Structure 1
């Protein structure tokens, strides 16, 4: 572990990684999502895609005690279970694509997926219908493939929930619980393909503390009646991260 932490402290762009994790934790604390949309575009400038995904996933797993118990109590666990089952079964396909594709196109996939997600959220698009269980499994499967390839585990499910009529508190809890389960599936597949490096593990451990601190701050700030303000702040932070991480600006 000391060697892994030493490699983490010498990682390129460490100051930027700390900054985006602070922002990502704050946004996740009051919305339940957003960390990957903020972290992955920027982390991809400094780290190979697989390392960036491991960093994001490991740091997220180290924060579970701070966010998962409350989410477990408030979530619709049956619905989350269907979403998570589809995601975990599909995650190996995303990780396989990550293992065979060059880093450059993966970074563009991250940028495009994050931009499309942000545009859909900002547009205020709403789906008023009801999705049956097979449809929920399909939403989860798309999140599994995208998460395994890019680390963006949230967009399909976030769009599904935020485009619907669900209560803000339950949407937030469902999203947190789903992302925690999918993290396990992605890490297991990365380990199976020997894509987990000591530097990524060290970075995950190093950044988990400031990340969980800002998650707790975000949780304290969260009140459902101010949902509009929180969403606007999250969109602005996500947009800035996407722009800063575009490969065009390398």
Structure 2
């Protein structure tokens, strides 16, 4: 009889460690609306190949995406979130193809630049009340988000500053980001199947990690409503800062 460890290629204790990592990353997602892939993909890359970690991160985002989708759609700034999501979904295959063709060292450099750029961008002054982004900015955000989804399972670096620099209620910003990330997860999964790097093994690992992801996301979401807006924004900046620092450390 084939054991679970043989099917996944991961020892039971290692899988338990991956579940703990997933819980922590999902908690951040539930609390801030982003950050799961930024935190989790590099950690998963310690136990599976970087390309597999990217695909696994996308599959996990796909599984958690429908959770609370009704509230997410109702709260989101649909005027911007839906166009960004559509553009990102259309360009995700470009990122996946780039990942397949890019040397690992160059890929790590590009991912590091994206993480650092997102942290710097979120620290820039906020736009004034009533600011509406132009169509070009919306399209550019979707383009960058889609490419980074396919390339690194990280749709957040362009999207988070887009919403955090606007005078939006945290509830609206969080829901808008989650709506976009669900769309990129769908596109990322289809692109991974198209490229041929989404395997039964990765689907199985994603299903095994789903309970930890669901629980972490639920706990984080429960804490979201108890955090003051300025503290929430500071926490988002801290998550981006940690991601940027860790990306630089990995590169060095």
Unaligned segments of structure 1, at least 5 residues: none
1:180 maps to 182
Q: Which is bigger in relative contact order (C-alpha 8 A, separation at least 6)?
A: 1
Q: How many residues align?
A: 248
Alignment of 1:56-205 (within 5 A): 56-121=57-122, 123-128=123-128, 129-205=131-207
Question: Which has the higher mean CA deviation after the structures are superposed, 83-92 or 112-121?
Answer: 112-121
> Alpha carbons of 1:130 and 1:224: their partners in 2 closer, same or farther (altered >3 Å)?
farther
| TM-score, structure 2 normalization | 0.86
For residues 101-157 of structure 1, what are the alpha-carbon distances to aligned partners after superposition, in whole Å with 9 as ceiling and x for unaligned? 123332332233223323433x35323343122331221011101111111111111
Secondary structure of the 1:200 match is helix
Greater mean alpha carbon deviation, residues 10-19 or residues 111-120: 10-19
Give the superposition deviation at 1:52.
Answer: 1.0
Unaligned runs of 5+ in 2: none
The 8 Å contact of residues 5 and 203 in structure 1, kept in 2 or not, is answered as: no
TM-score normalised to structure 1 length: 0.86
> Quick check: 1:8–1:206 contact (8 Å CA) kept in 2?
no
What CA distance in whole angstroms lies between the structure 2 residues aligned with 1:243 and 1:197? 31
Q: What CA distance in whole angstroms lies between the structure 2 residues aligned with 1:90 and 1:68?
A: 23
Q: 1:242 to 1:11 in 2, by over 3 A?
A: farther
Distance 1:59 1:97, change over 3 A: same
Hey, what does 1:247 align to over in structure 2?
A: 250
The Cα shift of 1:32 comes to 0.9
How far apart, in 1, do the equivalents of 2:241 and 2:16 lie? 19
Distance 1:181 1:220, change over 3 A: same
Residue 226 (structure 1) aligns with? 228
| Equivalent residue number for residue 55 of structure 1 | 56
3-state secondary structure, aligned to 2:155: coil
* CA–CA separation in structure 1 for the residues paired with 2:87 and 2:100: 21
